[in-house]
Structure 1
Amino acid sequence: MDKKANIYLKPHPIDAHEEVIINITGYYEHIKNHQITRQGSTCADEAIFIYCLEGAGWLTTDNKTYVVDKGMAIFCDQKAPHAYGSNGLNPWTILWVHFTGPFVDYFSNALHAKAQCTALSIGYHTHIVQYMKQILKLLDTPDEPLKRRTAYSYLKVCLCEVLMHVQENRSKNITANAYVDQSILIMEQYLHHSLSLDELCHAIGLSKYYFSRQFKLATGLPPMTYFNRLKIQKASHLLVTTDDRIQEISAHLGFSNPYYFSETFKQFTGFSPREYKHMHGKKY
């Protein structure tokens, strides 16, 4: 597969009878300097699904910023304002599609993401990758009705697979051990303070080894990495929505000094706080 592929589809008579209609689809491999912002009149009149195969990126909505890693996906409903892009230090490889049709409403409602954008932790699944690559292969000749219909069907199956993984993850979260949920609540309460693994384990009442192992099984990340990601997501939001100085945000979130804050911020986003504020500060 080429390192960068874009396939644009013109309207076709069969579209009137399909639940899922592909407008644009593509594949980007380790793409740098990839940044898209849609706000107000520039919001897409179509749903967007992006699946991260390697590397990392980010998604910013009106009220939240997500760090997007391998095995995560982005969904943006129709007309939902957003910005997303690749991590400058660890550029992402993504499969993506813009689509319309009656199935969009079902999909967004099932995700509880109507008129919103969200990041989904679904893991890396070979079936989803195969479906999306098959769509690209089929649409090399988009004017052939049978291939086009088959591509639409593959996308619907792919999206249903995503929903099944999301629902499975929700079920696991509901039945997850209470201490994992409790530890995340403590992290959220301590976003403006420092918090060590020893202190967290003491509050939960578990050994560091056992707690760290169980936390990573439940969330996919070590506890302190998860805590720092929460801090950086909050910092990203403050950089975009307030006039606070970088030093003030660093102190507000309990970092020992602005240098450590900047290094941590760049590790998660690929940008320094100053670069990130410059890119987004005037758009939200």
Structure 2
Amino acid sequence: MFCFNGGPGPTALLTAGTHGDEYEGQVALRRLVHDLGKADVRGRVIILPALNQPAVVAGRRTSPLDGGNLNRLFPGDPTGGPTSMIAHYVATELFPMADLVIDVHSGGSSLDHVAMTLARPGQDEKQAEAIRRLIKSFGAPYGAMTKGESGGASTTLYAAAEAQGIPALTTELGSGSTLSSTGLTIAEGGLRRVLRDYGIVPNMDAPEPYPTQLVRYPIASIYSPCAGLFEPFAAPGEVVACGQRAGLVHRLDDALSAPVELTFPSGGIVTFRRFPTLSSTGDALFGLMAPLDVS
């Protein structure tokens, strides 16, 4: 944990490595640590670039100590397993210090994901406006207000922050067990802009943000109907139509059978696509989002 305390001002809590196989945030925060050592900080920045350290060291989504998925265990339990204890520490010790929270995630080893921010809707209009401000400042290509129906719901880090009235967001950047240069650039730029825009590091250099497209997410998903080899026909960010061919699953249990054809259940923008070819029954293969009408 790194803490840069410059006196009176807001506190930003910045985390990555909640899932150990997601790297853009881990690298972006490590770089930010070096930059903040030379910066004029007017407030406080708390950084945990490897929040679930056991999972980070193992390169896994979940902890090798107890199998815990940290982003499904908030607000945690001080008498639970190691992963639940981490969640409890963040929720009870760090959240009370924070004026804003950003938890940087990526598609990890399982998903190829568009670059986007996700945030809860807020408990009232004042909090909702603060969250929208945070989304705009971070400046990812897409931004969604969501209750986490596609994963985690109220048990995620950013949901636990919202429950305490703190403006918070998470991200999805990159894909696979590697480092996306585009995702890393978006993570670095977004974090630096937030610190500048909130007056915590007022002289921080930061690139211009992307014009964020607000979206509804999720609107539909496709899951693998059987164990097989996934052959996709669409890419993240692609606009697709209802009934359009999405891909094939070549069955593992019967090489002579025709592959299972998948079609999109609705029109929308492809949010993510499964990264590994080998898929099990029930694996998420595609997710869809749709532009949000804010007129």
Richer in helix (by share): 1
Richer in strand (by share): 2
TM range (shorter): 0.3 to 0.5
Compute the TM-score of the two structures, normalised by the length of structure 2: 0.32
